[in-house]
């Protein structure tokens, strides 16, 4: 029988190779996400494989090393697009916000998605994963706000591959925002949580993580970093307009949410926690190094 050659489609640049933001476009020396073929030249393009974060949240690193700076955090159940596996590290991006970085291989769960099970999200500040459908049973994990899992109802609990979560600590993923559409109320749950560079709520959180997560649990998407949020969230507030609850105030490398007309809710390195603070006090403090610290005021 004659050999049949299978034609493999060729990729070519359809425009000048773009200058793309490496925080949200996955490419490095000789390797790139296949979605970038035609936009960016690379000697190799890779089709991502989707995996999911396991039972513990994990910080995403800039380089494949525990000593490398954190750039973000993946929460339990969140999806990660794997492009490369090397020396027990995976490189790729979070499917929640397309943020690129490295994770330890063991952070990804061996559990495959269950086709007949619904998706849930933790809506409590901390959801306890019990070993049995009993509040007196031993806790296995403590999942932070926004963690995701698949499961099915069993009495007052949702049974997941990792254990049992009480119904009062979670809701169906599709119902996010239907019972509580106020991002500020979720951000207020995190008052006192330690400030953690790259954190998204598990053990700590940073300023843009607070904005992103509080929107995420009301069913709204937001980019990861404050400069991205400033360019993409809502619309600019008129200079003479009063501020309202839920408005976003942007500074150089920082963002906060207005809890009311005068009070800023933000995760900040000054107090090393999520705090409520008079906006005027924040402006006064930052004015020592920048006479006009507020870069933008935006409203959804």
What pLDDT, on a 0 to 100 scale, did the predictor assign at position 172? 97
**By C-alpha distance, which of 59, 52, 49 is closest to 111?**
52
CATH of domain 183-299: 3.90.1720.10
Q: 118-175 architecture in CATH?
A: Roll (2.30)
- Which pLDDT value is given to residue 10? 58
**How far lies 184's CA from each of 14, 97, 247, 249, 264, in Å?**
44, 20, 9, 13, 11
- DSSP structural state of residue 167: G
**String of b and e for 185-210 (b: at least 16 CB within 10 Å)?**
ebbbbbeebebbbbbbbbebbbbbbb
Per-residue pLDDT of the chain (300 residues; tens, 9 = 90+): 445 444 445 556 566 556 899 999 999 999 999 999 989 999 999 999 999 999 999 999 999 999 999 999 999 999 999 999 999 999 999 999 999 999 999 999 877 788 889 999 999 999 999 999 999 999 999 999 999 999 999 999 999 999 999 999 999 999 999 989 999 999 999 999 999 999 999 999 999 999 999 999 999 999 999 999 999 999 999 999 999 999 999 999 999 999 999 999 999 999 999 999 999 999 999 999 999 999 999 999
Q: Do domains 118-175 and 183-299 have the same CATH topology?
A: no
Global confidence as pTM:
0.92
Asked if 56 and 147 touch (Cβ cutoff 8 Å), the reply is no
Domain ranges in the chain are 27-109, 118-175, 183-299
């Amino acid at each position: 029988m004659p050999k049949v050659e299978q034609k493999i489609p060729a990729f070519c640049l359809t425009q000048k190779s773009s200058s793309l933001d490496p925080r949200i476009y996955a490419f490095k020396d000789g390797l790139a996400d296949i979605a970038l073929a035609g936009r960016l030249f690379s000697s190799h393009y890779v089709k991502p494989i989707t995996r999911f974060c396991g039972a513990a949240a994990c910080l995403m690193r800039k380089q494949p090393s525990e000593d490398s700076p954190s750039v973000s955090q993946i929460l339990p159940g969140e999806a990660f697009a794997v492009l490369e596996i090397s020396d027990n590290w995976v490189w790729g991006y979070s499917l929640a916000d397309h943020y690129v970085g490295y994770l330890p291989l063991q952070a990804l769960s061996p559990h495959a998605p269950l086709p007949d099970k619904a998706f849930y999200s933790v809506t409590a500040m901390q959801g306890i994963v019990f070993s049995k459908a009993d509040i007196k049973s031993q806790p296995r994990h403590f999942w932070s706000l926004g963690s995701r899992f698949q499961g099915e109802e069993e009495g007052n609990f949702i049974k997941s591959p990792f254990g049992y979560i009480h119904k009062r600590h979670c809701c169906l993923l599709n119902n996010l925002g239907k019972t509580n559409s106020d991002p500020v109320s979720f951000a207020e749950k995190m008052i006192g949580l330690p400030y953690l560079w790259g954190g998204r709520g598990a053990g700590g959180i940073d300023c843009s993580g607070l904005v992103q997560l509080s929107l995420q649990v009301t069913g709204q998407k937001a980019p990861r970093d404050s400069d991205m949020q400033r360019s993409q969230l809502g619309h600019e507030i008129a200079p003479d307009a009063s501020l309202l609850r839920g408005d976003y105030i942007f500074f150089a490398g920082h963002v906060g949410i207005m809890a009311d007309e005068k009070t800023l809710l933000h995760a900040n390195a000054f107090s090393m926690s999520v705090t409520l603070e008079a906006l005027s006090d924040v402006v006064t403090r930052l004015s020592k190094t920048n006479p006009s610290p507020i870069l933008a005021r935006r409203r959804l």
